[in-house]
Amino acid sequence: MADFTSSFWDGFITLLTILGILACGLLLWSQSKHKAPLDASGATATTGHVWDEDLRELNSPMPRWWMWLFYITIVFALTYLYLYPGLGTYPGKLGWQSSGQYDAELQKAQLEYGPLFDQFLQQDLKAVANNPHAHVIGERLFLTYCAQCHGSDARGNKGIPNLTDNDWLYGGTPEAIKASILHGRNGVMPPMAAVLGSDAEVLNVAHYVLSLSGGSADPIKAVFGKAKFGACAACHGANGSGNQMIGAPNLTDKVWLYGGSAETIMETIRKGRNNVMPPFQEFLGEAKVHVLAAYVWSLSNDPHAPPENINK
């Protein structure tokens, strides 16, 4: 890649761009000298193309006003490339940068909206979730930064958690949700085929896992799989109820991140899984994450419910 970032390519692209613009100007100038040819009768000659028996195409040059529009675009292009970056590493006379404009817009937005987010940051997350104004802001933040993975309805997809139910890998309290958004998560399920020893044992464990949630499992295979489930108990617990401290899923409910068929469970056991939730602390800041976490919490809870009835 070093060959494509040397000064040669910088000069090559600059030269190619300028020559291309000048070539367009030269072509226009040469065509502006072209006059419409006349036939023997003194009328404008045709190209020889005829449609519908008598519709003929005249061999006329482009109208002058049209050509002058092209000249204007060439002048505009040269002026733009002089004032703004566009020729290799040349920064432009005005020194404009897209990153500089982005930073300026961020600073302007921070001055305008920062006090509002700071005000919400001082409030309890459940109180923020109960605020209609904060709810609308949180929804817009979610649609902008989270919907790409979790979906606009927050119901997730294969390998992407559903945020509207009460099943949480790392805990569903407002504080746990905020921690997930701030710092991100990296859930790793190691491949266990080598530990279990054979495909038959993988199949047995898969049927035992199915039986934990009342799925359609072969009872004989499940019995043999229970003896081998000890290799999984370190993370999922002896009874398969999971461990939110490390993001190990609860295997006793009917909520499946990748699917609950025996084939899918076997694939998970054989190959493992690796899920990454990126951190947003540096990108959004704690104040915006605070509002976003309150909105996500409200998707699976009633923020208007009395404290004793709130289950998360």
Q: 311 in a domain, yes or no?
A: no
Q: 239 in a domain, yes or no?
A: yes
Task: Domain of residue 142: give its range.
Answer: 110-184+278-303
Residues 259 and 289 reside in one and the same domain = no
Residues 148 and 178 reside in one and the same domain = yes
Q: Are 251 and 264 in contact (CB under 8 A)?
A: no
The least confident of 173-177, 182-186, 302-306 is 302-306
pLDDT at 303 over 80: no
Q: 139 in a domain, yes or no?
A: yes
As a dihedral over the C-alpha atoms of residue 169, residue 173, residue 177, residue 182, rounded to 10 degrees, the angle is -120
Give the pLDDT band of residue 146 (cuts 50, 70, 90).
very high
What pTM was estimated for this model as a whole? 0.70
Q: 176 in a domain, yes or no?
A: yes
pLDDT at 87: 87
pLDDT at 306: 63
Residues 273 and 289 reside in one and the same domain = no
pLDDT tens digits, residue range 39-69?
667 676 777 778 877 787 777 777 888 889 9
Nearest C-alpha neighbor of 222 from the set 262, 267, 273, 270: 262
Q: Are 57 and 46 in contact (CB under 8 A)?
A: yes
Residues 164 and 212 reside in one and the same domain = no
Q: Residue 44 has which token pair?
A: 């404008």
Amino acid at 12: F
Nearest C-alpha neighbor of 307 from the set 158, 97, 128, 127: 127
Residues 298 and 163 reside in one and the same domain = yes
Residues 138 and 267 reside in one and the same domain = no
Residues 194 and 177 reside in one and the same domain = no
Q: Residue 302 has which token pair?
A: 């009633």
Residues 156 and 292 reside in one and the same domain = yes
Q: How far apart are CA 185 and CA 195, in angstroms?
A: 26
pLDDT at 312 over 50: no
Q: 94 in a domain, yes or no?
A: no
77 to 92, 95, 135: CA distances (angstroms): 13, 17, 46
pLDDT tens digits, residue range 75-118?
999 999 999 998 888 888 998 888 888 888 888 888 888 899 99
Nearest-5° angle of CA 226, CA 230, CA 231?
Answer: 120
Task: Count up the domains in the chain and report the number.
Answer: 3
According to DSSP, residue 131 is labeled -
Residues 272 and 282 reside in one and the same domain = no
Q: How far apart are CA 243 and CA 236, in angstroms?
A: 6
The residue-averaged pLDDT of 223-231 equals 92
pLDDT at 308 over 80: no
Amino acid at 253: D
Sign, CA dihedral 21-25-28-34, equals negative
Q: Are 275 and 187 in contact (CB under 8 A)?
A: yes
Q: 67 in a domain, yes or no?
A: yes
Q: Residue 217 has which token pair?
A: 């499992």
Residues 172 and 199 reside in one and the same domain = no
pLDDT at 84: 92
Output the domain CATH number for residue 199: 1.10.760.10
Residues 125 and 240 reside in one and the same domain = no
